[in-house]
């Protein structure tokens, strides 16, 4: 049998020490503009002013308590870049990417969690990525794992419809903000067709124009953001392929093995809305009755064969 | 024309669905020329059937016309069913259009045998060639080779397909001669060996030269039907073991036999053996990822897998003398053998214990299933009634029926069925 693949951590880890300043000044309630760069700017500011965070919140939704020490930080590209690159001194690129994923997870505690993780990494003589005994490390891992799962689901559950002007468009409502994470996958895969994936919950989309993929937003005259593409402009063969896909979906099912619990675990109900095979429809295709043997009727070899295909 | 296509798809998808494989992983086909599709690495399940199986590929037969009469197969020539056949262009059009809409990862193409094996195989090759060359399609393609097809055609298929498979179907020669009179083991094993050698040769060439076209880069697989013939689980996993070792297979699939006919040569079962199939997959995993040998799991005295408990727990109960394992000091290989500890938790245990001595609570948070694991491990001196003090039956009963016991949905479902039947 194949030898067991031993985890990398057994092979040996790099130990290094980096002193971080003690955060001894008055704790502050930071606010930022809600972007990842903004959060990185706040991190810079924390270590510059030595004021640990009481809270870090996006300005738009910030709630301040009675004794709050509000401190707003304008996003500073240069500082954000310095922090982003500096993180690599205490963690590998994979761990750093996890922090970005934590940010995209929209978890209520995401900003402070990123701070606590970075602070832990700065003060630890060894790489903390695998310190599963620490609750923050586990939480970061957990959120990153949830993000990965949601990203993977969206790579699977996007259903494009082709319009008459050759655009393939799809609408999604993921649990977390995954569009930035799926852009590369779809750009590589559908390099020869124009496509648009729109996140209806977050009101923005990805658009690929055969050259590059951009983040796009739409506004209609009433100022309401929308991507509603009227059904009249669908490609004439679009209904056919949707119908064929539903046909296929029904016919690969094996009724004798029916297990709806497992079905729903893999494909939770909340995603059905945009899955053409799971939408309410008039026709359900019954399995072909291919298992009965007509008793008493002898079929001689070859007799049943129709002409072979051309 | 549309209705005709729809009917063909119904017939030819329905006839292909008993093939268990739907894997789309392990491909190495990159989209480098702004063509369509990309099949690197990880597979994607785009949907799931109501029986909970992954739908990753457009899995169809080119035709269900067949000159063979294999008793277990819905497409056998003596079965009175509607027959249909796709044209080459129809398959290409369906594949491309499903792929463009993100319905599928690619194509799984198989066929009944019409006219002759080579005639059929030649059609399959023509389809995959057209997809790759004319449509610059880089999605995943799995081609099932036709028993008895010539070496040249199989070699050509391997140039365009990511995965090739030859289905063994029946796990013993005796069953094969009884149930599939036109097939023989030689015709199955010869192409398997050819594909194995092609893959090895291709890897060697790739190490030497930069631009060598790939040959079945996602490897080769096969399928065994479980429950249509009388083999024991021991025979099945021994066969599996020899296929992994001798033929370098990437995967062996097990397909619980679903009654497709009332042929007197076949057992008259009403329910597919879902749990047995599940236990075989668990065993397969133990052999591939957990360092277990086939004869550790089963032996002539225990030729069948225990349906009630998973094979790792069954092994642990028979080998209680090696437990409890101290998770703070034991080797990775030994931690992997604790029931309730998966590969991911085992890796985390090894990593986390460099930072702190682990206790039960941390283990739980790492993802260890303590319900099963607690009988077999110790940490910081914490342990449940030591395994040596309990009999096999006591541990077994506590895990199966004790407080907080949760049997897998699959087991519950099938045990319920037994209850109803009696």
* Half-sphere CA count of B392, side-chain side, radius 13 A: 10
Of A255, A277, A304, the CB nearest to B47: A277
Which residues pair with residue B379 across a beta bridge? Answer: B382
A305: confidence class by pLDDT, cuts 50, 70, 90: very low
How many angstroms away from the CA of A242 is the closest CA of chain B? 9
Residue B354: list chain A partners with CB under 8 A. 9, 130
Question: What's the confidence (pLDDT) of residue B268?
Answer: 63
For residue B106, how many other CB atoms are within 10 A of its CB? 27
Burial B335-353 (b: 16+ CB within 10 A, else e): bbbbbbbbbebbbbbbbbb
Whether residue A9 is predicted with pLDDT greater than 60 in this model: the reply is no
Sheet containing strand A213-216, strands side by side: A161-162, A167-172, A194-199, A204-208, A213-216
Of A7, A261, A305, the CB nearest to B351: A7
What's the predicted TM-score (pTM) here? 0.86
Whether residue A296 is predicted with pLDDT greater than 50 in this model: the reply is no
ipTM value, please give it.
0.87
**Chain A interface mutation, best of B73, B78, B108, highest count of A Cβ atoms under 10 Å:** B78
Burial B188-226 (b: 16+ CB within 10 A, else e): beebbebbbebbeebeeebeeeeeeebbbbbbbbbbbbb
Of B49, B54, B261, the CB nearest to A291: B261
Sheet containing strand B106-110, strands side by side: B57-61, B106-110, B140-144, B163-165, B220-226, B251-256
The answer, for A93 touching chain B at a CB cutoff of 8 Å, is no
Question: What's the confidence (pLDDT) of residue B28?
Answer: 78
How many angstroms away from the CA of A47 is the closest CA of chain B? 26
Of A7, A192, A252, the CB nearest to B35: A192
SS (H, E, C) chain B: CHHHHHHHHHHHHHCCCCCCCCCCCCEEECCCCCCECCEEECCCCCEECCCCCEECEEEEECECCCCCCCCCCCCCCCCCCCCCECCHHHHHHHHHHHHHCCCCCEEEEECCCCCCHHHHHHHHHHHHHHHHHCCCECCEEEEECCCCCCHHHHHHHHHHCCEEECCCECCCHHHHHHHCCCCCHHHHHHHHHHHHHHHHHHHHHHHHCCCCCCCCCCCEEEEEEECCCCCCHHHHHHHHHHHHHHHCCCEEEEEECCCCCCCCCCCCCCCCCHHHHHHHHHHHHHHHHCCCCHHHHCECCECCCCCCCCHHHHHHHHCHHHCCEECCCCCHHHHCCCCCCCHHHHHHHHHHCCCCCCCHHHHHHHCCCHHHHCCCEEECCECCCCHHHCCHHHHHHHHHHCCCCCCCHHHHHHHHHHHHHC
Contacts with A, B 283-342, CB within 8 Å: 287-293, 332-333, 336
Residue B87: list chain A partners with CB under 8 A. 309-310
Q: How many CB pairs under 8 A join A and B?
A: 251
The answer, for B366 touching chain A at a CB cutoff of 8 Å, is yes
How many Å apart are CA B416 and CA B410, to the nearest integer?
10
Whether residue A136 is predicted with pLDDT greater than 90 in this model: the reply is yes
Between A187-191, A248-252, A261-265, B378-382, the lowest mean confidence (pLDDT) is in B378-382
CA A9 to chain centre: 27
How many angstroms away from the CA of B245 is the closest CA of chain A? 7
Closest CA to A3 of B62, B35, B288: B288
Of B2, B42, B103, the CB nearest to A240: B2
Q: Tell me if B332 and A158 make a contact (CB, 8 A cut-off).
A: no
Question: What's the confidence (pLDDT) of residue B316?
Answer: 93
The answer, for B54 touching chain A at a CB cutoff of 8 Å, is yes
How many angstroms away from the CA of B172 is the closest CA of chain A? 22
Residue B146: list chain A partners with CB under 8 A. none
Question: What's the confidence (pLDDT) of residue A18?
Answer: 54
The answer, for B135 touching chain A at a CB cutoff of 8 Å, is no
* For B34, nearest residue in chain A (alpha carbons): A191
The answer, for A252 touching chain B at a CB cutoff of 8 Å, is yes
How many Å apart are CA B116 and CA B108, to the nearest integer?
21
Contacts with A, B 160-219, CB within 8 Å: none
Whether residue A309 is predicted with pLDDT greater than 50 in this model: the reply is no
Whether residue A223 is predicted with pLDDT greater than 50 in this model: the reply is no
Q: Tell me if A2 and B52 make a contact (CB, 8 A cut-off).
A: no
* Tokens describing residue A34: 């809600």
Contacts with B, A 133-152, CB within 8 Å: 133-135, 138, 152
**Chain A interface mutation, best of B100, B127, B327, B334, highest count of A Cβ atoms under 10 Å:** B100
How many angstroms away from the CA of B358 is the closest CA of chain A? 7
Q: Tell me if B15 and A258 make a contact (CB, 8 A cut-off).
A: no
| B2-297 CATH | 3.80.30.10
Q: Tell me if B49 and A254 make a contact (CB, 8 A cut-off).
A: yes
pLDDT tens over chain B, length 422 residues: 578 999 999 999 999 988 877 788 877 788 877 888 888 778 899 999 998 899 999 999 999 999 999 888 889 998 889 999 999 999 999 999 999 999 999 999 999 999 899 999 999 999 999 999 999 999 999 999 998 899 999 999 999 999 999 988 888 888 888 888 888 888 888 888 999 999 999 988 888 887 788 888 888 999 999 988 889 999 999 999 999 998 999 999 999 888 766 666 776 666 788 899 999 999 999 999 999 999 999 999 889 999 989 999 999 999 988 989 999 999 999 999 999 999 999 999 999 999 989 999 999 999 999 888 988 999 877 666 666 677 888 888 888 877 666 555 555 555 554 444 43
The answer, for A191 touching chain B at a CB cutoff of 8 Å, is yes
Question: What's the confidence (pLDDT) of residue B342?
Answer: 94
Domain-wise residue ranges, chain B: 2-297, 311-421
């Amino acid at each position: 049998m194949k030898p067991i693949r031993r985890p990398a951590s057994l092979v040996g880890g790099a130990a290094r020490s980096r002193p971080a300043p003690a955060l001894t000044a008055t704790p502050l309630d930071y606010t930022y503009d809600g972007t990842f760069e903004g959060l990185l700017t706040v991190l810079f500011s924390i270590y510059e002013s030595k004021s640990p965070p009481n809270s870090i919140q996006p300005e738009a939704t910030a709630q301040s308590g009675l004794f709050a020490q509000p401190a707003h930080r304008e996003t500073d590209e240069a500082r954000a870049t310095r922090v982003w690159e500096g993180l690599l001194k205490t963690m590998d690129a994979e761990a750093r990417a996890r922090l970005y994923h934590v940010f995209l997870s929209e978890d209520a505690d995401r900003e402070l969690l990123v701070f606590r993780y970075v602070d832990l990494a700065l003060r630890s003589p060894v790489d903390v990525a695998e310190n599963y005994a620490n609750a923050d490390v586990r939480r970061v891992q957990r959120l990153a794992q949830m993000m990965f799962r949601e990203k993977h689901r969206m790579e699977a559950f996007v259903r494009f419809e082709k319009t008459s002007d050759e655009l393939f468009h799809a609408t999604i409502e993921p649990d977390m903000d995954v569009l930035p994470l799926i852009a590369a996958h779809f750009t590589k895969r559908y390099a020869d067709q124009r496509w648009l994936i729109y996140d209806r919950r977050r009101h923005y989309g990805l658009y690929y124009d055969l050259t590059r993929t951009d983040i796009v937003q739409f506004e209609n005259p009433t100022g309401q953001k929308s991507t509603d593409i009227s059904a009249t402009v669908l490609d004439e063969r679009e209904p056919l392929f949707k119908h064929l896909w539903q046909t296929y979906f029904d016919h690969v099912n094996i009724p004798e093995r029916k297990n709806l619990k497992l079905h729903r675990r893999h494909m939770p109900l909340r995603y059905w809305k945009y899955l053409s095979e799971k939408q309410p429809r008039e026709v359900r295709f019954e399995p072909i009755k291919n298992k009965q043997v007509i008793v008493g009727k002898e079929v001689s070899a070859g007799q049943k064969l129709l002409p072979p295909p051309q | 024309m549309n209705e005709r296509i729809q009917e063909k798809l119904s017939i030819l998808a329905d006839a292909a669905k008993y093939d268990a494989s739907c894997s789309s992983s392990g491909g190495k086909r990159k989209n480098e020329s702004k063509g369509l599709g990309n099949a690197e690495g990880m597979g994607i399940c785009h949907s799931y059937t109501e029986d909970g199986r992954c739908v990753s590929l457009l899995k169809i037969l080119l035709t269900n016309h067949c000159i063979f009469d294999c008793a277990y197969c819905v497409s056998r020539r003596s079965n009175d069913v509607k027959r249909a056949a796709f044209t080459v262009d129809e398959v290409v059009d369906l594949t491309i259009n499903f792929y463009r809409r993100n319905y599928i990862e690619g194509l799984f193409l198989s066929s009944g045998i019409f006219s002759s094996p080579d005639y059929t195989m030649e059609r399959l090759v023509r389809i995959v060639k057209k997809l790759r060359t004319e449509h610059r399609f880089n999605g995943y393609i799995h081609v099932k080779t036709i028993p008895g097809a010539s070496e040249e055609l199989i070699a050509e298929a391997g140039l365009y397909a990511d995965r090739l498979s030859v289905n063994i179907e029946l796990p013993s020669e005796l069953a094969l001669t009884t149930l599939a009179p036109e097939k023989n083991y030689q015709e199955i094993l010869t192409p398997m060996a050819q594909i194995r050698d092609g893959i090895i040769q291709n890897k060697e060439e790739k190490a030497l030269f930069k631009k060598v076209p790939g040959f079945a880069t996602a490897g080769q697989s096969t399928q065994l039907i479980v429950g249509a013939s009388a083999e024991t689980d021991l025979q099945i996993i021994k066969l599996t073991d020899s296929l992994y070792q001798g033929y370098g297979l990437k995967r062996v699939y097990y397909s619980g036999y679903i009654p497709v006919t009332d042929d007197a040569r076949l057992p008259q079962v009403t329910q597919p053996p879902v749990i047995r199939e599940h236990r075989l997959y668990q065993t397969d995993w133990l052999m591939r990822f957990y360092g277990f040998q086939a004869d550790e799991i089963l032996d002539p005295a225990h030729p069948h897998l225990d349906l009630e408990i998973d094979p790792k727990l069954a092994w642990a109960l028979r080998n209680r003398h090696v437990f409890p394992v101290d998770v703070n000091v034991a080797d990775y290989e030994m931690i992997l053998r604790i029931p309730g500890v998966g590969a991911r938790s085992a890796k985390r245990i090894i990593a986390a214990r460099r930072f702190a001595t682990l206790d039960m609570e941390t283990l739980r948070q790492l993802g260890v299933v303590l319900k099963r694991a607690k009988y077999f491990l110790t940490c910081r001196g914490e342990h449940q009634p030591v395994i040596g003090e309990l009999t096999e039956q006591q541990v077994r009963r506590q895990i199966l029926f004790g407080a907080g016991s949760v049997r897998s949905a699959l087991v519950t479902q099938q045990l319920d069925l037994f209850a109803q039947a009696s």
